[in-house]
Amino acid sequence: MAKKNQSIVVGWDEWVSLPELGLYAIKAKIDTGAQTSSLHAINIEAYEKGGVQRVRYLVHPLPERPDVEIQCDSQVVDVRNIISSNGESEERYIVRTPFRIDGQEWPVELSLTNREDMQYRMLVGRSTMSGRIVVDPDQSMLCGELSPALYDEIIKEHTGDQRLKMAILSREPENYSTQRLVDAAVSRGHSVDVINTTRCYMNITSDKPDIHYQGVSLPAYDAIIPRVGASITFYGMAIVRQFEMMGTYSLNNAEAIGQSRDKLFAHQLLAREGIGMPVTGFAHSPSDIRDMLKSVGKAPLVLKLLEGTQGRGVVLAETQKAAESVIQAFRGLKANILVQEFIAESKGADVRCVVIGNKVVAAMKRQAEEGEFRSNLHQGGTASKVKISPAERAAAVRAAKALGLRFAGVDLLRSNDGPKVLEVNSSPGLEGVENVTGLNIASQVIEYIEQGVKRRKAAAPRRKAAKKA
Ligand code: ADP
Ligand code: MG
């Protein structure tokens, strides 16, 4: 108490907290060279509520613990141009929140900026010190440590009342995405089984739906994450449907998975919602093919097998004649293909947006190899970070919604007239996008499922009542 009006002597780095934001322990750099304090935030998203501008953002307070993610929400008090340490000017949101160090607390202003590569997640500038802090630049950590264990308790509190029984439907238990989802589920306090979809079997005539696996009846899972490969879409959908009949929450439902797999159907659904996509044509009879090609446009044209993935089954026909003969050849094999205008200006690049719920949580650009137009990583494409525009963000969210997918990878081409949706993937891989962005997407998926299960449980009594009425 005697401390109250005395300045606090601090070193050049200290543990501090922003208690109102739920950021109980952050290692901050004390920087007398900076005017405004800054907090490193990602997924910064401005919105308006009751005429007040607010901002949502995600903070990883501990650089070495990416699983600790705190979702914050603040009123925006200003938007300012801030010159960062590398001399670049950036427009940033300014928020106000209580700041605590060495037992003392006062309100401060912080700018929000996305720089995950920074060693310190917070920079304390002169305006925060406001005569209360004196810096001894030769010292470090004079105010003692705040334990990061605080966050573990918060995570536990989060899930304590809601330990879920989850299953991941995947034929590849060792796969990166499967492993990441397992780890994320476990670290959020849930139990999780990995189940090989093709080894599930069921008796659909019984009045009590269930699923058998390796000779036993599967337990009643709260939630499943279907990672159904393209080659088993049909069977995978049946299994997901059966889980749904048992009352299990499925991250993506069977119908949505099915319609996203069928490129023709998916494009029809996107078109119905007025979502931008390349001009696309489809014909059945050989005698109509020439006319259909004409309606799509001039060569070069892109031809696609309806159910191809990973760039296999996608070819570029340089001339009208080539397009016709490729179509004839495919038709001879009883394969269905669609024809698309070639978006040349995207120069072999596309943008993968990962959508969870109604948000794009991550994006990456994929660039095709030299001399190749398909940017698929399986075709030698390389991934890099990308900033997407509001139009691209909106197109991705609308596309996922049009197909009914809660979790999706939406691929866009950047064309001269805005984003064009190429396809919507119902089990997007996590490896490329997590590596490129450094984000913990697996954990965000699990968090989304927690909310989904909770919402459903809350709605269940009402649903039952409605049924009875
Ligand atoms: P797949 O399901 O096999 O990945 P896509 O439709 O996504 O099939 O096509 C594969 C890749 O080919 C895309 O990622 C993109 O780089 C390129 N591509 C596909 N369609 C077009 C198009 N109409 N114009 C330009 N490039 C295209
Ligand atoms: Mg693709």
Q: Is residue 261 one of the residues assigned to a domain?
A: no
Same domain, 94 and 23: yes
Does residue 455 lie in a domain region? no
Ligand 1 and 423: CB distance under 6 A:
yes
d(CA 323, CA 318): 7
Calculate mean pLDDT across residues 398-419: 97
The beta-carbon contacts of 144-153 under 8 Å, at least 24 apart in sequence, are 144/15, 144/102, 145/15, 146/15, 146/16, 146/17, 146/24, 146/25, 147/25, 148/25, 148/61, 148/62, 148/65, 148/68, 150/24, 150/25, 151/24, 151/25, 151/61, 151/62, 151/65, 151/68, 151/70
CA-closest candidate to residue 418, choices 382, 399, 390: 390
Comparing 52 with 457, which gets the higher pLDDT?
52
Q: Pick the ligand that lies closest to the CA of residue 261.
A: 1
Q: What is the pLDDT of residues 147-183, one digit of tens each?
A: 877 787 766 655 555 789 999 999 999 999 999 999 9
pLDDT digits 0-9 by tens, 120-151: 999 999 999 988 999 999 999 999 888 877 78
CA of 415 from ligand 2 middle (Å) equals: 16
Q: Give the number of other CB atoms < 10 A from CB of residue 432.
A: 19
Per-residue pLDDT at 464: 54
86's CB contacts (< 8 A; 6+ apart) are none
CATH classification of the domain holding 229: 3.40.50.20
Q: What integer pLDDT is reported at residue 147 of this predicted model?
A: 81
Mean pLDDT, residues 15-44: 92
- State whether the beta carbon of 304 lies less than 6 angstroms from ligand 1: yes
**What is the total count of domains within the chain?**
4
Does 334 lie in the same domain as 381? Answer: no
58/126 same-domain check: yes
Choice from 314, 337, 343 to test ligand 1 binding pocket (greatest atom count within 8 A of CB): 314
CB of residue 352 inside a 6 A radius of ligand 1? no
Phi then psi for residue 241, to 5 deg, are -60, -40
Query: Do 184 and 139 reside in the same domain of the chain?
Result: no
Query: Is the CB of 315 inside a 6 Å radius of any atom of ligand 1?
Result: no
Asked if the structure places residue 73 within a domain, the reply is: yes
Most confident of 75-84, 302-311, 361-370: 361-370
Strand partners, 82: 90
Of ligand 1's listed atoms, the one at least distance from the Cα of 381 is 16
212 lies in some domain: yes
Residues 65 and 99 in one domain: yes
Asked if residue 12 and residue 146 are part of one domain, the reply reads yes
The answer as to whether 449 is a domain residue is no
Clarify whether residues 23 and 124 are in a common domain.
Answer: yes
pLDDT of residue 1: 41
- Same domain for 300 and 166: no
Report residue 2's pLDDT band, with 50, 70 and 90 as the boundaries.
very low
Structural domain span for residue 409: 346-440
* Bridging pattern class, strands 89-101 and 104-113: antiparallel
Domain shared by 350 and 325, yes or no: no
Residue bearing the CA closest to ligand 1, atom 11: 374
Whether 169 and 235 map to the same domain: the answer is: yes
What would the two tokens of residue 381 be? 């494409």
- Say yes or no to pLDDT of 465 above 80: no
- Per residue in 206-241, pLDDT (tens digit) is 777 889 998 888 988 999 999 988 778 889 999 999
Q: What percent of the chain has pLDDT over 90?
A: 61
214 and 139 in a single domain? The answer is: no
- Ligand 1 near 340 CB (within 6 A): yes
pLDDT category at 3 given cuts 50, 70, 90 is very low
Which CATH number belongs to the domain containing residue 430 in this structure?
A: 3.30.470.20
Residues 305 and 362 in one domain: no
